[in-house]
Amino acid sequence: MRAQHYLGPRRPLVLADLPTPRPTAGQVLLAVKACAVCRTDLHVIDGELADPKLPLVPGHEIVGVVIEKGAEVEKFAVGDRVGVPWLGWTCGACDYCRGGRENLCDRARYTGYQIDGGYAEMAVADARYCFALPAQFDDVGAAPLLCAGLIGYRTLRMAGDGNRIGIYGFGAAAHIVAQLARFEGRTVFAFTKPGDRDAQDFARALGVEWAGGSDEAPPEALDAALIFAPVGALVPAALSATRKGGTVVCGGIHMSDIPAFPYALLWKERSLRSVANLTRKDGEEFLALAPKAGIVTATRRYPLAEANTALADLRAGRLDGAAVLVP
Ligand SMILES: [Zn+2]
Ligand SMILES: [Zn+2]
């Protein structure tokens, strides 16, 4: 099968011809239909995350059809369409797993990081971590739900029930979470790179109340801010836009250093927290909600062979929504 191979930090992916993977007893073998490109893939390829397998097939927003399954798989049948997210395996035994926080499992393994992912014609996945996908989404449209959507959902939940939600970094996750927040009756304020009119217009087209640069103050103080851009300087910016008692949630896996800031920005019971990974419960909740909320994903498709172009476009901010690779 053809697959894109990551061989080491800051090297372009290489299109390789690899043996077809074989499913073990608990795995499904998938014919990949689409795999969205996530900013985390850039962090892996840039060597910013510590523990990738090498060589590695990246990609953790996989839509595929089951073409073979291991003897123990009962959840899916051959022919079923499934989604494979970032969370690929957990131990089931550590305090976090037993306490309903498998996203923090001490021994977790992640798709497209420690497990070969979906930048390929075929992939294997542990069936217990795969999701059924809502029929309303086609293959390309469903792919960004599997990380941008899921992590966006968890990030919004961690922000609490406040009405005025600020979103810093208006890419794949933001464009989904903005639709979800609007469906829940909230008011959304979008912050982009200063001067990025295209991203601000894209946000306005999704019904946000206000769109501006991350160096601007919103017209009203925020109840909560979600940060999806990997820029530590946005943390004090978001805190200063957030009202007393509000919450700032960092949704990314990696961020540049957060600059020192006056304690007064945090004082008056503002909270600052991160979101890490996902639980299967998040996935089930979000994938049930996405069609009800009428979420429409904005995608740009690329042939599998052009993965490096898709990554470059993401890095340069040339995308509205998500890049999706199609084998
Ligand atoms: Zn991701
Ligand atoms: Zn565990």
pLDDT number for residue 10: 86
Contacts of 141 (CB under 8 A, 6+ apart): 296, 297, 299
Ligand with smallest separation from the Cα of 107: 2
Ligand with smallest separation from the Cα of 110: 1
Residue burial 172-197, b: 16+ Cβ < 10 Å; e: rest: bbbbbbbbbbbeeebbbbbbbeeebe
Question: How far apart are the CA of 93 and the centre of ligand 2, in A?
Answer: 5
Q: Which residues surround ligand 2, an ion (CB under 5 A)?
A: 90-91, 94, 97, 105
For strands 322-326 and 27-36, give the pairing.
antiparallel
Question: How far apart are the CA of 105 and the centre of ligand 2, in A?
Answer: 4
Question: How far apart are the CA of 262 and the centre of ligand 1, in A?
Answer: 32
DSSP single-letter state for residue 40: H
Question: How far apart are the CA of 107 and the centre of ligand 2, in A?
Answer: 6
With beta carbons less than 8 A apart as the criterion, state whether 77 and 65 touch.
no
With beta carbons less than 8 A apart as the criterion, state whether 54 and 47 touch.
no
Ligand with smallest separation from the Cα of 151: 1
Ligand with smallest separation from the Cα of 277: 1
In tens digits, the chain (327 residues) has pLDDT values of 999 999 999 899 999 999 999 999 999 999 999 999 999 999 999 999 988 999 999 999 999 999 999 999 999 999 999 999 999 999 999 999 999 999 999 999 999 999 999 999 999 999 999 999 999 999 999 999 999 999 999 999 999 999 999 999 999 999 999 999 999 999 999 999 999 999 999 999 999 999 999 999 999 999 999 999 999 999 999 999 999 999 999 999 999 999 999 999 999 999 999 999 999 999 999 999 999 999 999 999 999 999 999 999 999 989 989 999 999
Q: Which residues surround ligand 1, an ion (CB under 5 A)?
A: 38, 40, 147
Question: How far apart are the CA of 30 and the centre of ligand 1, in A?
Answer: 19
With beta carbons less than 8 A apart as the criterion, state whether 310 and 325 touch.
yes
From CA 65, how far away is CA 82, in angstroms rounded?
6
Ligand with smallest separation from the Cα of 108: 2
Q: Which residue carries 């996902």 as its tokens?
A: 278
Ligand with smallest separation from the Cα of 100: 2
Ligand with smallest separation from the Cα of 98: 2
From CA 315, how far away is CA 284, in angstroms rounded?
30
From CA 96, how far away is CA 115, in angstroms rounded?
21
DSSP single-letter state for residue 115: B
Give pTM, 2 decimals.
0.95
Burial of 119 (0-12, 13-18, 19+ CB in 10 A): buried
For residue 106, which amino acid is it?
D
Ligand with smallest separation from the Cα of 254: 1
pLDDT number for residue 51: 87
If we measure between CA atoms, which residue out of 294, 301, 306 comes closest to residue 321?
301
Question: Which tokens in the block code for residue 218?
Answer: 């919103």
